[in-house]
Amino acid sequence: MPVINNEEIGDKIIESIDMTVPSKPEYVGVIRLTVSAIANRMGFNIDEIEDIKVAVAEGCTNAIKHGLDDKFYINFEIGSDSLSIVIKDNGKGCNVEEIDEPDLLNLKEGGLGLFIIKTLMDEVEFVSKKGKGCQIKMIKFLGDDI
Amino acid sequence: MPVINNEEIGDKIIESIDMTVPSKPEYVGVIRLTVSAIANRMGFNIDEIEDIKVAVAEGCTNAIKHGLDDKFYINFEIGSDSLSIVIKDNGKGCNVEEIDEPDLLNLKEGGLGLFIIKTLMDEVEFVSKKGKGCQIKMIKFLGDDI
Amino acid sequence: MSLVINKNFNNDKNVWNIELKGEIDIYTANELKKVLIEVVSINPQDIILNASELEYIDSTGLGVLIGVLKRLRQQGKDIHIIEAKKNVKKLFNITGLDKIFKVEG
Amino acid sequence: MSLVINKNFNNDKNVWNIELKGEIDIYTANELKKVLIEVVSINPQDIILNASELEYIDSTGLGVLIGVLKRLRQQGKDIHIIEAKKNVKKLFNITGLDKIFKVEG
Ligand SMILES: Nc1ncnc2c1ncn2[C@@H]1O[C@H](COP(=O)(O)OP(=O)(O)O)[C@@H](O)[C@H]1O
Ligand SMILES: Nc1ncnc2c1ncn2[C@@H]1O[C@H](COP(=O)(O)OP(=O)(O)O)[C@@H](O)[C@H]1O
């Protein structure tokens, strides 16, 4: 599975926080608080913090629900004008081509997570291969929303 | 430097969260929120959460202030009846024998951190060697305080 | 990081009033599912979800609501979501679910 | 995760009134140090720290207060800490600093 190269981000990477977390539902709330604190410290406004919180939780939820490994990884890259988050698991993986966009005329109980992440974040890259785990990278730029 | 063996804790280790954090003052607040969320999820009461928060922050502050490496590590072990936290850096280290207890008759501006950790937590183990980094392990038991 | 659900059936109006307090995510969504499925099994009537103290919802929670709505629709009934906070409303808006659920006030 | 410091000198009582809002830790302690050293340099009088909105203090903050108290004591002056929350008071108590500072109310 190709690992996303940090150099692809425009701004210089300043600082990085890594976490390894058990694949258990009860820890998604812990990560929501952690990423809120990071985004708050960086100067994102309340609405942006909320967006980041939801997107990160969706990524973690997927790692737990679909990855089915016993743990997953998060990396926060705190740039001067962006927060970039990578959520990675070495679990079941999936075939990216087979993922459908949500369809309001044919509602399903699942399938909204990736769509929500793409809507709330500025840049999203989803990489996965069956049996080879999954990696999602999402970026939010500072001072983008008015 | 001897690494503390997990087996030393009485209760079975259930889950473990690992973090790598830049050695910068602005991230101590992020860790305070993270550990508060973990302790809250485990069922510690408000006073206990506050104690854990302060103790962990003191440990991180020491890693940043004295370790002087560019990053440090935290491990949270969530047991069925205890939270065990290890804060570790590969920085300057120190000679443990040279550390004095605080003296109220001869006040200094420093020297309170380790004393506070020992007071607030149930078990504390501090291991360091000059030039070989530092590791502090602190445990808080659930349902201990009345 | 928890969810409190208060339910009661309003006999005058023939609707379920359900209050949600806290957060709906992968950790708490099952609880919500259990309560709503139970409610719909006992008496399939309109459900009014009071979300004034709901601080957070994500796709797992939305999925539960969609599942229950599908059941109710078979009986010609609906789910109304009232007094949702801005951030909760936003999730309904961006997913287009505000066109499926009755999101009010 | 920030600290707001409001200071003003009370001419009637000849004391500094300083309000602390937020958190004192390794990130914000330098700011506190700067303000207190400045205050003491301008006019070394008793300092009354209103801590009613101080949510958090740790050893770094206590260290700053000790340093300033030492300077003030040379002039026979004191630091009073008033309206501290329970968790802030606890730090003064367990370190014995409640016997050194005037922790009131
Ligand atoms: N971490 C992951 N591991 C394996 N498959 C994943 C992962 N994340 C997403 N997927 C796949 O992408 C699909 C769409 O995900 P998503 O949009 O979040 O909806 P949902 O999780 O509700 O199915 C999932 O059904 C799953 O097949
Ligand atoms: N992570 C660390 N790396 C190196 N030395 C440390 C570390 N933590 C503590 N120490 C040593 O222990 C001493 C006492 O620490 P502490 O009680 O927290 O007080 P203070 O940090 O104010 O000096 C420090 O002055 C330092 O010499």
Tens of pLDDT, residue by residue over D17-39, are 999 999 999 999 999 999 999 99
Rounded to the nearest angstrom, the minimum Cα separation between D59 and chain B is 6
Of A96, A101, A46, A123, the residue nearest C96 (C-alpha): A101
Answer yes or no: do B30 and A19 touch at CB < 8 A: no
Edge-to-edge, what's the strand order for the sheet holding D15-24? D3-10, D15-24, D46-57, D79-82, D102-104
Q: CA-to-CA distance for B82 and C48, rounded, in angstroms?
A: 41
- Least CB–CB distance from B29: residue in A18, A27, A41: A41
Tens-place pLDDT, residues B48-63: 999 999 999 999 999 9
CATH topology for B13-101+108-141?
A: Heat Shock Protein 90 (3.30.565)
Percent of all residues in chain B with a pLDDT value above 70, rounded to a whole number: 89
Q: Is the pLDDT of residue C96 over 60?
A: yes
**Chain-centroid distance, C-alpha D90:** 15
Count the alpha carbons within 13 Å of A60 in the hemisphere toward its beta carbon. Answer: 31
Output the pLDDT for position A144: 66
Write out chain B residues lying below 8 Å of C1, CB-based.
37, 40-41
Q: Which atom of ligand 2 is nearest to the CA of B87?
A: 1
| Average pLDDT over all residues of chain B | 91
Which atom belonging to ligand 2 lies closest to the Cα atom of B63?
A: 1
Q: What pLDDT does B86 receive?
A: 98
CB A86 within 8 A of CB A127: no
**Residue A108 sits at the chain D interface (C-beta within 8 Å):** no
Strand partners, B136: B87, B126
Query: Which has the closest alpha carbon to B21: B82, B93, B69?
Result: B69
Asked whether the predicted pLDDT for residue B145 surpasses 70, the reply is no
**Using CB atoms, which chains have 3+ pairs under 8 A with B?**
A, C, D
C-alpha span between B39 and B57 (Å, rounded): 14
Residue type at B109 in one-letter notation: E
What pLDDT is recorded for position A3? 44
Spatial strand order of the sheet with C46-57 comes to C3-10, C15-24, C46-57, C79-82, C102-104
Asked if pLDDT for residue A138 goes beyond 60, the answer is yes
CATH fold group of domain D3-104: Transcription Regulator spoIIAA (3.30.750)
DSSP code per residue over chain D: --EEEEEEEETTTTEEEEEEEEEESTTTHHHHHHHHHHHHHH---EEEEEEEEEEEE-HHHHHHHHHHHHHHHTTT--EEEES--HHHHHHHHHHTGGGTSEEE-
Half-sphere exposure in the Cβ direction for B75 (13 Å, CA): 16
With touching defined as 3 or more inter-chain CB pairs under 8 Å, the answer for chains D and B is: yes
- Give me chain D's average pLDDT, please: 96
Are residues C22 and C55 in contact, defined by beta-carbon separation less than 8 angstroms? yes
Hey, are the CB atoms on B61 and D87 less than 8 Å from each other? no
Cβ(C48)–Cβ(C15) under 8 Å?
yes
Confidence check: pLDDT of B5 > 70 = no
For residue A93, report the distance from its CA to the centre of ligand 1, in Å.
9
Model pLDDT, residue D1: 59
In the structure, what pLDDT confidence band is assigned to residue A17 with cuts at 50, 70 and 90?
very high
pLDDT tier for residue B2 given thresholds of 50, 70 and 90: very low
Kindly report, residue by residue over A66-101, the tens digit of the pLDDT: 999 999 999 999 999 999 999 999 999 999 999 988
The pLDDT, as a whole number, for residue B4 is: 46
ipTM: 0.93
Which pLDDT does position B3 carry in this prediction? 44
Cα distance between residue C20 and residue C63, in whole Å: 16
User: How much distance in Å is there from the Cα of B30 to the middle of ligand 1?
Assistant: 29
Residue indicated by tokens 């108290």: D69
**Domain edges within chain C:** 3-104
Measure A110 CA to ligand 1 centroid, in angstroms.
Answer: 9
pTM for the whole structure: 0.93
Give ligand 1 pocket residues (Cβ under 6 A).
Answer: A 62-63, 65-67, 89, 91-94, 99, 110-115, 128, 134; C 59
Q: What is the mean pLDDT of residues A6-15?
A: 60
- Written as one letter, the residue type at A13 is I
Alpha-carbon separation of residue A141 from A25, A46, D88 (angstroms): 28, 14, 37
In D, minimum Cα distance to A36 occurs at: D1
Question: What is the per-residue pLDDT for B109?
Answer: 85
Distance between CA atoms of residues D26 and B27, nearest Å = 10
Pocket of ligand 2 (CB under 6 A): B 62-63, 65-67, 89, 91-94, 99, 110-115, 128, 134; D 59
Cα–Cα distance, A62 to A1 (Å, whole number) = 18
Identify the residue among A32, A54, A136 best suited for mutation to test binding to C, counting C beta carbons within 10 A and taking the highest.
A54
Whether there are 3 or more C-beta pairs closer than 8 Å between C and D is no
Centre of ligand 1 to C-alpha A132, Å, is 14
Q: Name the packing angle between helices C59-73 and C86-95 (round to 10°).
A: 70
User: What would you measure as the largest C-alpha separation in chain C, in angstroms?
Assistant: 35
How far D44 CA lies from chain A's nearest CA (Å)?
35
Confidence of residue B121 (pLDDT cuts 50, 70, 90): very high
Per-residue pLDDT reduced to its tens digit, B93-119: 999 999 988 888 788 888 999 999 999
